[in-house]
Copies of this chain bind each other. A is one copy, B any other.
């Protein structure tokens, strides 16, 4: 049980975390700050936060748990702004989709206080932003990846695991670098491809006509292309090397399929489609990885 959550960034992710903690009875009081005063005001009206703070620093005053839920590119400035009130007992987390850059930013900003910071990436999201969409159930049943460093304090790491578990998440840990490699493959690349798909369509004179004919397959395939452009710009730039490496592997797989199609090699094409189809049909979101028998 926490006395006070200091929430910096009262959008979808931050607001949902506050609501989830409240619903689970894990926090007595939420003090919130957003860059835009109207967002902070709206968060209080909606009962997402209890008290509006006039600055990020003052949102942290008296808090025993702090969530930094700002765009990844703003993490360093935010942590710098709150550093003077960070205590060795405080648990500070973020919710960013990239982790190596966040860890570097935290090291620079927090220096000897960096042990209080537990980098966190909850695997969830919506194609809508803003505190109006905050939802106590957003994190329920989802995975959360923690990427502690050698400086992270054990007490904070355990607290972080407990709090995410208490709101219904499955928690795992890995290094920031492993995290960024994995999410380049399963998140950042699919987003890049979905954005490219939309732009390929709108770049054609018949694009509007084509779009009017698209069905449920297209709807689901491109859902993530409605993601927030600034957020995805930052993610793609922050994780550019891993993302471009994954895009190269994807283009090789695509070229193999194209080769079979253009040469009319039905058997090779069927084999490749079967491999993809079976892999996807057997995949279950959040399932534990099948251990490979020796």
Contacts and interface: CB of A to CB of B under 8 A. Distances in A.
Interface of A: 123-125, 127, 142-143, 145, 181-183, 185-187, 189-204, 206-230, 232-233, 236-237, 240, 243-244, 246-247, 249-254, 256-258, 261-262, 264, 266, 269-270, 272-277, 279-281, 283, 285, 287-290, 292
B227 A277 contact: yes
Contacts of A266: 233, 237
12 contacts: A124-B215, A182-B206, A185-B210, A187-B215, A187-B217, A193-B197, A193-B254, A196-B250, A197-B253, A218-B285, A222-B280, A225-B279
Nearest to A126: B216
Given A194-B280, A201-B279, A233-B273, 6 more contacts: A142-B215, A185-B210, A186-B210, A189-B197, A196-B257, A220-B224
Contact of A285 (B191, B215, B272, B276): B215
A222 B280 CA distance: 7
Contact of A216 (B194, B227, B285): B285
Nearest to A199: B253
Given A208-B289, A215-B123, A221 B194 contact: yes
9 shortest interchain CB distances as A-B pairs? A123-B215, A198-B276, A229-B273, A186-B214, A212-B289, A200-B253, A196-B254, A195-B276, A225-B280
Most chain B CB within 10 A, of A227, A253, A266, A289, is at A253
A186 B211 contact: yes
Contacts of A250: 196-197, 200
Contacts of A279: 198-199, 201-202, 211, 225
Given A189-B197, A217-B190, A204 B288 contact: no
